Amino acid sequence: METAQKLPIVTYLTQIIFHLTLNQEDIDDAAIWQGTVGSGQVRRLGELMTKRTERVAAMMDLLAAAGFEFEVKKNVVYATSDQVEAFEAKQRLLEAGFKDREFQILLEYTRGWGML
């Protein structure tokens, strides 16, 4: 006698978005654009961009250990998991010292028989 497979009532897909570029707030906070632009400001911008990409890579390492998969499109890294809920992923990132403005979380629920 075969046992019927139980479909989950609800499945979810957690997606975390990391922008590889700086936002205007980061640039304004660094006060690198004051008056005439020189090579010093451009170097400082490069340092900020290096710091940003290092932080994105560190967040990716943390999430990879939890089983997330990654893809990149147009200066944005997408981390995706159907095993780790959004709250848990956010908690891991915050506990590791990352700020919630460094990432964006999307959560999609699906019923076992169609979209919610």
* Whole-number pLDDT of residue 9: 73
Predicted model pTM: 0.79
Q: Would the pLDDT of 88 be above 90?
A: yes
Residue 3 lies in a domain: no
What is the residue-wise DSSP string for 36-74? S--HHHHHHHHHHHHHHHHHHHHHHHHHHTTT-EEEEET
Q: Is residue 5 part of a domain?
A: no
Residue 115 is predicted with a pLDDT of: 53
Domains in the chain, number: 1
Domain carrying residue 54: 10-115
Is the confidence at residue 110, as pLDDT, over 60? Answer: yes
Q: Assess if residue 2 is contained within a domain.
A: no
Distance in angstroms (rounded) separating the CA atoms of residues 89 and 63: 8
| Whole-angstrom distance, CA of residue 58 vs CA of residue 102 | 12
Residue 70 lies in a domain: yes
pLDDT, tens digit, for every residue of 32-73?
666 677 788 788 888 889 999 999 999 999 999 999 999 999
Q: In the structure, what pLDDT confidence band is assigned to residue 98 with cuts at 50, 70 and 90?
A: very high
pLDDT of the residue at 78:
98
